[in-house]
């Protein structure tokens, strides 16, 4: 659908409208009763979410590319069907193809104070070229005072589908130096900054250097304590056995051309994932659902 058709079929006066960037990317502008948000059809990419009475909860780079076929830096990129790079020796885009493909908006409706949206993606020329031609994805968003993100994968093949997936969420914080993350004490992780060495997390996570940790076999809720912002962000999840914590720190940020060199201290990525040893093997005809539910609360200070 073009913008006019999207507005005709799904537009809600004062709540949901569709627009285009100068480069031609279509996005939904959302003003729900309890939150504002922005979602791009490319990648079904949530680029902003701000609950009423709070500062923005989602970080978006000021240097992000908003161009067809290029990933958006920040927000919630959807990684599928691999998390970082392919493990089968073949080439493919980093984090898979889902985040750079145009998704279809299938449903949008306001229920109470929450806006519900469903985006779908099936096989494309790009996915078929990468060997993925028998899958269906659905991404359901519930946008309100809390944010629910649900990714469903269906295997339409006659053989098992093996995949990794992630909701690669960038949470906005006042200053990464004042952030701690609870919920992963005692969990084993792969340290990607130290040749994938296996380590065990002890206590809360603080970020003091480039950090890229793949925490395995965990379904725990994580709490981001944003002391500078006087708030906490709670990330509860189901259908996910991996949690990734990432911040490039200053040295890593300089290697990212779509990230301003000063922005690395404005976010922490707490990602809802199934990857590595937790990759999913989905039987023919079966479906897998992964969900993250995010809430933001102010704290005294």
Q: How far apart are CA 275 and CA 151, in angstroms?
A: 15
Tokens 């519900």, residue located? 116
Q: Which two tokens stand for residue 207?
A: 């970020």
What pLDDT, on the 0 to 100 scale, is given for residue 86?
81
Q: What CATH number is associated with residue 161?
A: 2.70.98.10
Give a yes or no: residue 10 inside a domain: yes
Mean pLDDT of the chain: 96
What pLDDT, on the 0 to 100 scale, is given for residue 190?
98
Count Cβ atoms within 10 A of the Cβ of residue 186 and give its class: 0-12 exposed, 13-18 middle, 19 or more buried. exposed
Average pLDDT over residues 277-295: 98
How is the chain split among helix, strand and coil, in percent rounded to 5? Answer: 10, 45, 40
Whose CA is closest to 157, among 185, 131, 182, 133? Answer: 133
pTM score, two decimals? Answer: 0.96
What would the pLDDT profile of 41-80 be if each residue is shown by its tens digit? 999 999 999 999 999 999 999 999 899 999 999 999 999 9
Query: Per-residue confidence at 92, pLDDT binned at 50, 70, 90?
Result: confident
What pLDDT, on the 0 to 100 scale, is given for residue 223?
98
Instruction: Say if residue 301's pLDDT is above 70.
Output: no
Question: Total domain count for the chain?
Answer: 1
The SS3 assignment for 3 reads helix
Give a yes or no: residue 190 inside a domain: no
β-bridge pairing 35-40 and 26-32: antiparallel
Query: Per-residue confidence at 85, pLDDT binned at 50, 70, 90?
Result: confident
Average pLDDT over residues 180-189: 98
Whose CA is closest to 247, among 259, 236, 238, 237? Answer: 259
Give a yes or no: residue 129 inside a domain: yes
What would the pLDDT profile of 13-24 be if each residue is shown by its tens digit? 999 999 999 999
Whose CA is closest to 143, among 299, 12, 1? Answer: 12
Give a yes or no: residue 180 inside a domain: no
The SS3 assignment for 6 reads helix
Give a yes or no: residue 133 inside a domain: yes
What would the pLDDT profile of 222-269 be if each residue is shown by its tens digit? 999 999 999 999 999 999 999 999 999 998 888 999 999 999 999 999
Give a yes or no: residue 214 inside a domain: no
Domain that holds residue 289: 3-172+249-295
Whose CA is closest to 57, among 179, 140, 211, 174? Answer: 174
């Amino acid at each position: 659908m073009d913008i006019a058709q999207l507005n005709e079929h799904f537009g809600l006066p004062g709540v949901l409208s569709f627009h285009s960037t100068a480069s031609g990317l279509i996005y939904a502008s959302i003003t729900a009763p309890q939150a504002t948000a922005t979602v791009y059809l490319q990648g079904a990419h949530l680029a902003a979410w701000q609950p009423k009475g709070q500062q923005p909860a989602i970080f978006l780079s000021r240097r992000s590319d908003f161009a067809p076929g290029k990933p958006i830096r920040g927000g919630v990129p959807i990684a599928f069907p691999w998390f970082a790079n392919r493990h089968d020796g073949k080439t493919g885009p980093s984090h898979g193809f889902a985040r750079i493909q145009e998704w279809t908006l299938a449903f949008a409706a306001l229920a109470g104070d929450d806006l519900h949206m469903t985006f779908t993606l099936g096989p494309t020329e790009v996915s078929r070229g990468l060997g993925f031609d028998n899958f269906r994805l659905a991404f359901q968003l519930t946008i309100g005072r809390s944010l629910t993100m649900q990714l469903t994968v269906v295997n339409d093949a006659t053989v098992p589908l093996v995949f990794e997936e992630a909701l690669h969420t960038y949470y906005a914080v006042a200053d990464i130096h004042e952030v701690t993350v609870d919920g992963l004490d005692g969990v084993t992780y792969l340290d990607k900054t130290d040749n994938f060495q296996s380590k065990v997390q002890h206590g809360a996570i603080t970020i003091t250097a480039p950090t890229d940790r793949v925490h395995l076999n965990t379904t725990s809720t994580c709490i981001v304590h944003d002391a500078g912002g006087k708030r906490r962000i709670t990330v509860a999840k189901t259908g996910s056995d991996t949690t990734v914590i990432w911040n490039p720190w200053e040295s890593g940020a300089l290697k990212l051309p779509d990230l301003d060199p000063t922005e690395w201290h404005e976010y922490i990525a707490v990602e809802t994932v199934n990857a590595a040893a937790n990759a999913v093997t989905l039987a023919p005809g079966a479906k897998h659902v992964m969900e993250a539910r995010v809430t933001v609360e102010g704290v005294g200070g």
